[in-house]
Amino acid sequence: MRRSITYCMYHTTRTYRTSLFSRTECLVSRIHKQCRRGKFSIVLPHRITPTRSVPDSIVKPSYAISGALGPKPVEIDLKTEEQINVMRKTCQLARKILDAAGQELKVGMTTDEVDEFVHQMCIDNGSYPSPLLYNKFPKSICTSVNNVACHGIPDLRPLEDGDIINLDITIFKDGMHGDVSKTYMVGSVDEKGRHLVDVAEKCLYAGIDQCRPGQKIIAIGTAIRDLAQAHGFSVIPSFCGHGIGSAFHTPPEILHIPMKDFESQQVKMKEGMTFTIEPILSEGTDMVAILEEDGWTAVSEDGSRSAQFEHTILITSDGCEILTLSEKEFENAIMVKTT
């Protein structure tokens, strides 16, 4: 059986590195996509501002101090009740920051301004923005707009009417990470874009519905893939969910498509597991490229849009708990259970 090695295990086979598209290629691609899939702008990286500092009083993960990631954990960590209680608080703070940042979004705002807002809110709440300096990532949040599938670096490009943008927020507080993301619509998004965002969120919950003790992890990706394909969308396989806790990324890997050959997919869920589910849906190809210029930004090969949603999940004795639900989502879930 093939052994999975990294939380981005497909990088060597499903992605390639590319330089920035030429102006001509960008224009032709933009016109082509507007005709086929709706009106939106192809996004290319703009200038970025210097990395923001974090006060010495904020407790930092080891990689933010040493600059090195260190050895990746190889065993699945089952959390204690004390660890779970800390993760609940950390995840709720991460969600609070995400919701606040989402309310700030507007046409003309730059993603660098979003990063500044999130960075300051993390500091004000005594937490460290986990992406900052993780494997040299230069910012405190990932902002992925339109054709950027994930890991977009905040820059000085103003948001445009019709953009869709994923805000991916992870924080570190009291020794634990909490990870959550959501795709927002800026201004008037075309019908096809709205449908993509809607189905992407539904796919996340389709995967969560499979979470319970004794269920194999492969069931998550199967449910996500089946729902996405039913709506004519593809699931980008290059990036997967991951275990999370005292370390940012740990086993098990949570693939968003069924891949029987990967060892982690046959693992059965157990009470105390915590991991993220974070499917990326594309309206076009499932292939992405990593831009050589920054080594992070993943763009769709054909310029098509993608949308992503993410929650941090805890496996409980009789099912699962979504640690990153908003207060409104939690209230709605309670109402559904009691009606």
Known binding-site positions for substrate? 151, 249
Grouping H, G, I as helix, E, B as strand and the rest as coil, residue 103 is helix
Tokens 């939106």 -> residue: 40
Yes or no: say if 139 and 131 are a contact pair by the CB < 8 Å rule. Answer: yes
Tokens 């904020």 -> residue: 58
The binding site for a divalent metal cation comprises: 168, 179, 242, 278, 310
Q: Please calculate the CA angle 100-237-16 and round it to the nearest 5 degrees.
A: 100
What is the separation of C-alpha 309 from the centre of its chain, rounded to a whole number of angstroms?
6
Tokens for 38?
């709706």
Strand spans (E) along the chain? 15-18, 128-129, 142-145, 148-150, 164-173, 176-185, 234-235, 241-243, 250-254, 274-277, 280-282, 288-291, 298-300, 306-308, 311-315, 320-322
Q: Is the link from the previous residue into 61 a cis peptide, with omega within 30 of 0?
A: no
Q: Which residues contact 46 (CB under 8 A, 6 or more apart)?
A: 155, 156, 157
Q: How far is CA 87 from CA 6, 7, 94, 209, in A?
A: 23, 20, 10, 21
Nearest to 301 by CA among 324, 314, 284, 278: 284
The binding site comprises: 151, 168, 179, 242, 249, 278, 310
**Residue 93, Cβ neighbours under 10 Å: how many?**
21
Q: Which residues contact 13 (CB under 8 A, 6 or more apart)?
A: none
Identify any residues that bridge with 315 across adjacent strands, giving them in sequence order.
Answer: 320
